[in-house]
Amino acid sequence: MTRKELYENKLQMDYFSDDYIRFEEDFHKYSAMNVPLTFLIDDILRTMAINQKNYFVLNKENAKDGRDHYYYFEIDYHVGCRKFHYKKHVNR
């Protein structure tokens, strides 16, 4: 079983909340990548799940200001599913 198969349909973002809108705004404010966030979400969620972290890092190489940016989430565990709710952004 591949990692993709292991987490398929078991990781969800809280898309219809004000927190998600704030996450999109925070991400686009600092990201220098040309890839839309929509195409990155599954990889971001899978990476956080595999590494058992509640955050991910936009590294300085991909940031407009050349600094590392940390995006923190709260995770709700439901039967067979994890739902991620955006909480805050920190840069270093």
pLDDT value of residue 9: 64
Q: How confident is the model at residue 73 (pLDDT cuts 50, 70, 90)?
A: very high
pLDDT value of residue 4: 54
pLDDT value of residue 6: 52
Please state the pTM of the whole predicted model: 0.86
CA dihedral sign of residues 15, 51, 39, 91: positive
What is the number of alpha carbons within 13 Å of residue 78 lying toward its C-beta? 9
Across the range 2-19, mean pLDDT stands at 74
Residue 44 has pLDDT above 60, yes or no: yes
